[in-house]
Structure 1
Amino acid sequence: MISVYEYILIFIHLDLGIVSGQNANSIGELISSPIVTLILTCIIFLGALYQLYSHRINIAGIISMICTLIFFIGYAIIDEISLISVLLFVIGALLVVIELFVVGAVLGILGFISIIASFVLVGDSILNMGIIIAVSLLVTTIEWVILVKGFNRKIPFFDKVILKDSTNKESGYTSHDDRSHLIGKLCTTYTALRPSGIILVDDQRIDAVSDGSFIQKDQEVRIIQVEGTRVVVREI
């Protein structure tokens, strides 16, 4: 059993580049121990979630990335990590990033599942790692509730890619040219209205309908109603 003092010496030697294979294995065993693994996974998930709800890269996101490297390197040292686990993590991370640019949640969900699976497959006991991941997700869920419900935090990236302005008439948006100013205006029929046809308004051709009666060509009419693109006229 290696004491805390000996672990400190190991990390010092690591910084100096003179760690022996035995010391490297000791570091790997320390990182892969249940308590340290739980602490690392909690920090990874908590930091990643906090970074997701932040406007810029912060210390939480940086620490999360560092802990992720330590986690995988530690298990790689003791040869308890597979290529599948690494690939699942990389693919999951890519899917989550792509999800930020794509409407929908399918890619994000698949990416999240891939990341969780990559952590569960690390180590020699899927059951133990599954329990650790479950505890980490529980703690992360509590953080999410605090951020969203307590501090009303939102994912900043979505503010840039999602249109939040109301596109109604009250907000100044219309899906067509506003012709309400034509009500009461006198014009002439360019074609016969049977009951629909074309009228001339200041030498501009506009589709129109009569208020019910048939109107011949070149007749003077008055615009009595405008509803969207529908212009209703009445013969004078």
Structure 2
Amino acid sequence: MEVTSLTLSSYEMMLFFLMSVIFLTAVAQLYAPRFTVFGFILILASLGFVVLTGVTGDLEMISVLLFTAGVVLMILELFVVGAVLGILGALMVMGSFLLIGENISRMAVFLAISLILTAIEWVIVVKFFKKKIPLFRNVILTDSTSKEAGYSSHDDRSHLVGQNALTLTPLRPSGIIVFDGKRIDAVSEGAFIEKDREVTIIFVEGTRVVVRTL
């Protein structure tokens, strides 16, 4: 049996503390406009977690691989439409924590509490402080092309508002609909819409057509 300088209870408390700090500072840094003290603390906490579990022999290569792959998938999710990569990446990261050491139930409790604290932090950041992920400002076009902004279109589709159409392809959220025999590029109101579903056109701005299911 390996001997450590920490008692078991102190070791468990340190694992829980570092795990919570990693999750909490990751969310705080994600919503920060630039690299901040939260990012610095996140790096230190991650290194501390690796060193602590490595010294005690609890850290295994499978945990490292899962964590690394999960983080990569969550980063890719920021640039890919859909939530599959993000969900898979999050599950891989959580799984990497569960596989540390031999006491999975202990790590599961630590992980659950850390996630609850992180969820509370996320609600406060988004709902009360109205924060948005700064990266989205660089990859999403937010400029308005409305008539009030001085834009006009040779293909005015404002008359389509209120009309029903059929999805020719799945909308994830963008795709193609068919109205009066014509193919039209469209975007769902937010949710995924399957192929061959009847939709109604609720909003048109320039060439942007927004639909929702009936």
Name the TM-score, length of structure 2 as normaliser.
0.66
How far does residue 119 in structure 1 lie from its aligned partner after superposition? 0.8
The match for 1:101 among 79, 90, 93 is 79
1:83–1:164 CA distance, 2 compared to 1 (3 A)? same
One-letter amino acid matched to 1:152? K
How far does residue 32 in structure 1 lie from its aligned partner after superposition? 7.4
Identify unmatched segments of 5+ residues in structure 2: 157-205, 207-214
| Rounded Cα–Cα distance in structure 2 between residues aligned with 1:118 and 1:32 | 21
Counterpart check, 1:110 vs 2:115:
no
| Rounded Cα–Cα distance in structure 2 between residues aligned with 1:111 and 1:62 | 22
Identify unmatched segments of 5+ residues in structure 1: 1-20, 179-227, 229-236
How far does residue 122 in structure 1 lie from its aligned partner after superposition? 0.7
Name the TM-score, length of structure 1 as normaliser.
0.60
- Rg bigger for which structure? 1
Map Cα deviations across residues 143-191 of structure 1 (whole Å, 9 max, x no partner). Answer: 101100110000000011111233343433444379xxxxxxxxxxxxx
One-letter amino acid matched to 1:51? Q
Report which structure shows greater RCO (CA 8 Å, sep ≥6).
Answer: 2
One-letter amino acid matched to 1:116? M
Match in the other structure for 2:119: 141
Task: Verify the 8 A CA contact 1:31 1:75 in the aligned structure 2.
Answer: no
Match in the other structure for 1:26: 5
Task: Verify the 8 A CA contact 1:44 1:64 in the aligned structure 2.
Answer: yes
How far does residue 51 in structure 1 lie from its aligned partner after superposition? 0.2
Identity of matched residues, %: 47
Match in the other structure for 1:4: none
Once structures 1 and 2 are overlaid, which stretch shifts more, 135-144 or 157-166?
157-166
1:31–1:66 CA distance, 2 compared to 1 (3 A)? farther
Equivalent pairs, count: 156
| Rounded Cα–Cα distance in structure 2 between residues aligned with 1:30 and 1:153 | 39
Match in the other structure for 2:154: 176
How far does residue 46 in structure 1 lie from its aligned partner after superposition? 0.4
Counterpart check, 1:90 vs 2:68:
yes
Match in the other structure for 2:19: 41
How far does residue 31 in structure 1 lie from its aligned partner after superposition? 9.7
Q: How does 1:216-231 map to 2 (within 5 A)?
A: none
SS of alignment partner, residue 80 of structure 1: coil
